[in-house]
Structure 1
Amino acid sequence: MSIPTTVRMDEDMVSRLDGLAQATGRSRAWIIKDALSRYLEYETWFAEEVERGRQDVAAGRLVSHEAVKDRMRRRGIHVD
């Protein structure tokens, strides 16, 4: 089930959106839904990873800055 919603955009954004819709043969609505879906997927993943990191810190699961630099050096990556 789709629920209609309204989003206000400036003229430049709508123009770019319409240009992309025309170039890809998709509708304006399809592009907006696809972009929003990708955004939500990424932001959800990011928030979950941040929370996992916070839990690791709270549990004392940390790696020192020097240990990270040593690991990078062992892989042949130059670090200061």
Structure 2
Amino acid sequence: MESRTLKRVDGLANAMSRSRAWVINHAVERYLDYEEWFVGEVKQALKEAEAGHVVEHKTVVKRWERKRAARVDARR
């Protein structure tokens, strides 16, 4: 591990009254949780796309433009 990263880990461990190992384990667990979720979402989206459940680009653009316009109007 790079020394700068290790110093950050140690600083966080100290601030939390935890061990270096606890901080690293906690960080790895959070990373794995997110990456596993993300891979699952991508796999599901690919299945949906293969089944033809997609939204045309023009439809997405129109929805985005309406949403953006609504936000601009709400700020006025």
Q: Kindly tell me the number of residue pairs found equivalent between the two proteins.
A: 69
TM-score, normalised on structure 2? 0.81
Matches of 1:16 and 1:66, distance apart in 2? 46
Q: Does the alignment pair 1:54 with 2:60? A: no
Q: CA deviation at 1:64?
A: 0.9
| RMSD, aligned α-carbons | 1.3
Instruction: List runs of 5+ in structure 2 lacking aligned partners.
Output: 70-76
Instruction: Return the match for 2:30 from 27, 34, 38.
Output: 38
Q: Which amino acid aligns with 1:63?
A: V
Instruction: List runs of 5+ in structure 1 lacking aligned partners.
Output: 1-8
Instruction: Return the match for 1:68 from 44, 60, 69.
Output: 60
Q: Does the alignment pair 1:24 with 2:16? A: yes
Structure 1 segments of 4+ aligned residues over 6 angstroms from their partners: none
Report % sequence identity: 43
Question: Is 47-56 or 10-19 further displaced after alignment?
Answer: 10-19
Task: Look up the SS of the partner of 2:21 in the other structure.
Answer: helix
Q: CA deviation at 1:25?
A: 1.0
